[in-house]
Amino acid sequence: MRLALTVLVLMTGLAITADAQGRGRIAIFSDAELTDSSLVDAFPPRIADVYIAHVNHNGVTGSRFKLVADPGFAGIWSSEASQFAEVIGTSASGIEIYYASCVAVDVIVLSVTYLLPGTSSACSCLRIVPYPGDEPYIVCNGCDFMELPCSGGGSLHVNCTVPVESTTWGRVKALYR
């Protein structure tokens, strides 16, 4: 009896983990190749696009989220565009995007254009947060057409620098011994 109960608990845990991984997450990138999660807001002022993508999933049909800026982010929202026709709301107030079919690859769901004046404070962020009134962070439709939670929201780091430490060649070589 104990063995059967243990096996049942383990199988349930594995199913929940696999199911959560299947719905993926919403992430923010500063490049259309979805490789860079950082952005520099430095003088002179410029226009920059950020890309919000549904990544790490096994097939999805939609998503809902809201994009918010930390107080230190000085970028000015200009516009946004989606390749999908069925979009309700805006990223600033809460947006729902329906993909019209089951998408089985990482996909850019929204591009947002900002005017960057070059005055954002050090290490501020743009963040994905819950759609107004929804928990957890993001809700997306899995390809089984049930509304299910994705994993937590992503963030784009603005003007964050990596600290540099002095070292010696001997210390670098010691890392590979």
Q: Which of 9-23, 68-82, 97-111, 129-143 has the lowest mean pLDDT?
A: 9-23
**70 vs 137 pLDDT, higher one:** 70
Average confidence (pLDDT) over 50-60 = 87
Selected residue with higher pLDDT from 163 and 76: 76
Banded model confidence at residue 162, pLDDT cuts 50, 70, 90: low
Helices (H), 1-155: 2-23
Report the share of the chain in percent with pLDDT over 90. Answer: 40
Specify the pLDDT at position 142.
55
Cα end-to-end distance, the chain, whole Å: 50
Domain boundaries of the chain, sorted by first residue? 28-161
28-161: in CATH 2.60.40.680: yes
pLDDT score for 20: 46
DSSP secondary structure letters along 51-76: EEEEES-S-EEEEEEEEEE-TT---E
For the chain, give the mean pLDDT. Answer: 78
pLDDT at residue 164 in the model: 52
Question: Do the beta carbons of residue 142 and residue 59 sit within 8 Å?
Answer: yes
Question: pTM value?
Answer: 0.73
Q: Are 57 and 97 in contact (CB under 8 A)?
A: no
pLDDT value at 15 more than 70 = no
